[in-house]
Structure 1
Amino acid sequence: MKLHREGYTIMAITAIILIIINLGINYLLPDGYWIPRLVLIGSIIVFFLVVQFFRVPTRVVHKSDREIVAPCDGKVVVIEEVVETEYFKGPRRQISIFMSPLNVHVNWNPISGVIQYFKYHPGLYLVAWHPKSSTDNERTTVVIRTIEGVEVLFRQIAGAAARRIRWYVKEGDKVEQSTEMGFIKFGSRVDIFVPLDAEIKVNLQDKTVGSVTVLAQLK
């Protein structure tokens, strides 16, 4: 396992702040016993939580032209037929994955192909499970067209705590399934829109492993 580059600055700033706090406590309470130790223990826990948020696990993946894999770690909270209004302007099957602050927050390409469409939308920061978060929150929309011409759309969506979305793709890029496409900081969700005839392979409340769990199989 390694640490993601998006976390280098945050981890460094967190370490500096915690060191200053601990030095200040020891200076103000030189004869204190339990308070400095309690602050030190708390600081170690906080730093550990920040570090684990930016972890990048090593995973064994397999690639398939017909399988759509989870673009993130998390829990499946929505599986329903909807009308996608931004790109398809028609019915699609939506699968939504909620990412808690304890999940790995790397985002992966769910299938191989060419980035047919990309757009960044500034917006609100409603809680990730709010019904309007997928249309009103800060988000990106990415459409990948497979070699067979099938298009899969997915969105990185910011939440109440996640106020920074990173992406590493643009229109025209050729991408490989299970390769890194972006990062969302501090919890949010990802929506995936697949064709209606795709066979859904997950159920509500299932835990997903990004770049590994198969969400759907294309006909």
Structure 2
Amino acid sequence: MKLHKESKGTITVASIAFIIIALLSVYYLEIWGLAIIIPLLLVYGLVFWFFRVPNRDILDHKENVIAPVDGKVVMIKEVEENEFIKGKAIQISIFMSPLNVHICRYPVSGNVIYKKYHPGKYLVAWHEKSSTENERTTVAVESLTHHQVVFRQIAGYVARRIVMKCTEGDVAKAGHEFGFIKFGSRMDVFLPIDTEITCKIGDKTKGGIDVIAKMTE
């Protein structure tokens, strides 16, 4: 199983902690130490599972809006996007549990025209106000269909590290990685009002693969 490069520090700390606790458990509790080691081993395995990088065939897209993350669609609604679009947009929110792949991908192809990091709170990720009050990043892309698409990584109550590796002027390719969020959170995508939405609330998405909307020139 291939692991994401963001796993290095976390796995190093987890490995050291596991070894120390396991040795102390065996030393002080002998055979009864297994009651601690076995559950701890399951948690240790979940750390590796969290940072997995699945093999996915990413296609080229022009009109399709691709799911930026693995997760569950929890919101589709018309909103006011006041940071960049400064007007009405359709918001699609996808919640990621700690068991999901947490690679963040471009939802559309085009050019990156805006990016900004915002410090903030750590409300639970499914809270509606987390989109504007939590720690977050905002990226805007001018799509190949000449639309401005905004998407936002949102930290949650557990997720407290957002990685964004793109800059203004970069070429965005739908389905390709631009960032990572550690340990569960949310991604919001803001689309033009006349966008054809092809997903629904409750849908499970596969990042880089599933089409969640379509835009035409």
TM-score tier, shorter chain, comes to over 0.9
Distance in 2 (alpha carbons) for counterparts of 1:101 and 1:72: 12
Which stretch of structure 1 is more off in the superposition, 141-150 or 105-114? 141-150
Distance in 2 (alpha carbons) for counterparts of 1:25 and 1:107: 38
The normalised TM-score by structure 1 is: 0.96
Distance in 2 (alpha carbons) for counterparts of 1:129 and 1:100: 11
- Tell me the alpha carbon deviations over residues 109-129 of structure 1, each in whole angstroms, 9 at most, x when there is no partner: 111111011010000000011
Work out which of the residue numbers 36, 41, 45 in structure 2 matches 1:44: 41
Match of 2:27 in 1: 27
The normalised TM-score by structure 2 is: 0.97
Pairwise CA distance, 1:176: 1.3
- Tell me the alpha carbon deviations over residues 31-60 of structure 1, each in whole angstroms, 9 at most, x when there is no partner: x32x22222212210110111010110012
For this pair of structures, how many residues does the alignment match? 216
Match of 1:153 in 2: 150
Pairwise CA distance, 1:12: 1.2
Whether 1:71 and 2:71 are equivalent positions in the alignment is no
Q: Is contact 2:118-2:137 (8 Å) kept? A: yes
Match of 1:16 in 2: 16
Which stretch of structure 1 is more off in the superposition, 35-44 or 57-66? 35-44
For residues 51-62 of structure 1, what are the structure 2 equivalents within 5 Å? 51-62=48-59
Distance in 1 (alpha carbons) for counterparts of 2:56 and 2:33: 40
Dislocated runs of 4+, deviation >4 Å: none
- Tell me the alpha carbon deviations over residues 132-178 of structure 1, each in whole angstroms, 9 at most, x when there is no partner: 10000000010010234211110000000001100110111112111
- Residue 138 of structure 1 aligns with an amino acid whose one-letter code is E
Identity %: 50
For residues 133-148 of structure 1, what are the structure 2 equivalents within 5 Å? 133-148=130-145
- Gaps of at least 5 residues in structure 2 are none
Whether 1:2 and 2:34 are equivalent positions in the alignment is no
C-alpha RMSD of the superposition? 1.0
Pairwise CA distance, 1:9: 1.0
Whether 1:87 and 2:88 are equivalent positions in the alignment is no
Distance in 1 (alpha carbons) for counterparts of 2:145 and 2:209: 22
- Gaps of at least 5 residues in structure 1 are none
